[in-house]
């Protein structure tokens, strides 16, 4: 088990290293940030001065190595635009995104899992077919379209909830959250619902497939032969086994959404990391983009590890294999 974790951490370090190189090289070729920073009528000498002050006159290798040296000291560079440390900018926006995505995942799992199990237990029932048709819809509708329709109906048409912003927040230590105020909840509901739809559709499908497989297993028949109540069979015997594939999907979807909730955050003007990323890309604010992608890679790699550990916890037989 310990060997497994150490092994995974070493693997993760290599992934992070490769990613820095890719991200850095990618941004190196996509344009000259200096053009965005100086006034259009600046002279070549002025531009050169800016370039030198940002270290952009150096070769790629030198820039990369100096970036890595700073990164190892926890310094991911300063924003070209504001001069503030890139990491601070990102960390300040992180709670808003995480709040949004966690709410979306809770909605997606809380609704998707029971519906998927229901559809899997009685695949021929009409209700099951309706659920599956709904999940196909959830898959195929693009996020921005869903967002706009929800805004039109609930914000513009009915006026129940606001269409943008985070609303009133409550401070918990250094972190500001919306979900503890009524106003914040009102702001949270539409973007969270938008984000949750595709995940819900995915969870329904995975839960259904897993339920169908597990429900046909002999240990479920044996559990019934013991005279267990249906709640116990579904809630313990079935659920624990279908969580094995589901935990992977839920974990990875959570990571993907947190890292790239760009579209939804933009439409709802949700002040999260995704919006910061888009703004930084548009202004070619390279340190922020690099820092962002780097942090997300570390986060995703960490999440993967958590998922694997959860998997081992759920499946004792796999735990045994992992030990060898």
Partner 1 sequence: MSTDMMSKETRDADLGAPVLKIEKLCTWFDTREGTARAVDGVDLELYEGEILGLVGESGSGKSVTGYSVMGLIDPPGRIAGGRILLDGRDLTRLSEEEHRRVRGKDIAMIFQDPSMTLNPTLRIETQMIEAVRAHEACSTAQARRRAKDALDMVGIPSPEERLRAYPFELSGGMRQRVAIAIALLNKPRLIIADEPTTALDVSIQSQIIYELQTLCRETGTAMIWVTHDLAVVAGMADRLAVMYAGRIVEVGTTKEVIEQPGHPYTRGLMGSVPMHETRGRRLARIPGATPSLLHLPQGCSFRERCALADKACTRMPELAQHHQAQSIRCWHPGETDR
Residues that bind partner 1 (CB under 8 A): 217-219, 221-229, 232, 236-237, 240-241, 244, 314-317, 320
Torsion of CA 44, 50, 54, 55, to 10 degrees: 40
- Nearest distance from C-beta of residue 230 to partner 1, angstroms: 8
- Nearest distance from C-beta of residue 211 to partner 1, angstroms: 15
299 neighbors 259 (Cβ within 8 angstroms): yes
Q: Which residue's CB is nearer to partner 1, number 69 or number 226?
A: 226
Q: Which residue's CB is nearer to partner 1, number 93 or number 237?
A: 237
Q: Which residue's CB is nearer to partner 1, number 177 or number 314?
A: 314
- Nearest distance from C-beta of residue 217 to partner 1, angstroms: 7
- Nearest distance from C-beta of residue 220 to partner 1, angstroms: 8
Which positions ≥6 away from 136 have C-beta within 8 Å? 201
Q: Which residue's CB is nearer to partner 1, number 76 or number 117?
A: 117
- Nearest distance from C-beta of residue 226 to partner 1, angstroms: 4
Q: Which residue's CB is nearer to partner 1, number 104 or number 117?
A: 117
Using CA atoms, how far apart are residues 321 and 130, in angstroms rounded to an integer? 40
């Amino acid at each position: 088990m310990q060997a497994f974790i150490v092994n995974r951490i070493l693997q993760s370090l290599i992934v992070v290293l490769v990613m820095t190189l890719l991200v850095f090289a990618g941004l190196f070729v996509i344009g000259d940030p200096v053009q965005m920073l100086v006034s259009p009528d600046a002279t070549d000498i002025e531009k050169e001065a800016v370039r030198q002050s940002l270290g952009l006159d150096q070769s790629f290798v030198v820039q990369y190595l100096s970036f890595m040296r700073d990164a190892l000291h926890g310094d991911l560079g300063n924003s070209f635009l504001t001069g503030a440390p890139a990491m601070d900018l990102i960390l300040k926006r992180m709670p808003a995104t995480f709040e949004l995505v966690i709410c979306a995942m809770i909605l997606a799992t809380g609704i998707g899992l029971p519906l998927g199990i229901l559809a899997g237990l009685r695949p021929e029932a009409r209700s099951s077919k309706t659920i599956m048709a709904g999940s196909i819809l959830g898959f195929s509708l693009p996020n921005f379209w869903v967002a706009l329709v929800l805004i039109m109906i609930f914000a513009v048409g009915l006026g129940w909830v606001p269409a943008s912003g985070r609303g009133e927040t409550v401070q918990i230590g250094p972190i500001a959250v919306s979900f503890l105020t009524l106003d914040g909840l009102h702001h949270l509901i539409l973007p969270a619902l938008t984000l949750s739809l595709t995940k819900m559709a995915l969870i329904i499908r995975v839960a259904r497939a897993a339920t169908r497989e597990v429900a046909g297993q002999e240990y479920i028949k044996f559990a019934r032969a013991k005279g267990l109540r249906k709640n116990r069979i579904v809630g313990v015997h079935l659920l624990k086994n279908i969580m094995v594939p589901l935990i992977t999907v839920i974990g990875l979807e959570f990571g993907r959404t947190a890292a790239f909730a760009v579209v939804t955050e933009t439409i709802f003007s949700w002040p999260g990391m995704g919006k910061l990323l888009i703004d930084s890309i548009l202004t070619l604010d390279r340190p922020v983009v690099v820092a962002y992608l780097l942090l997300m890679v570390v986060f995703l790699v960490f999440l993967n590890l958590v998922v694997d550990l959860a998997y081992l916890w759920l499946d004792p037989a796999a735990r045994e294999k992992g030990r060898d």
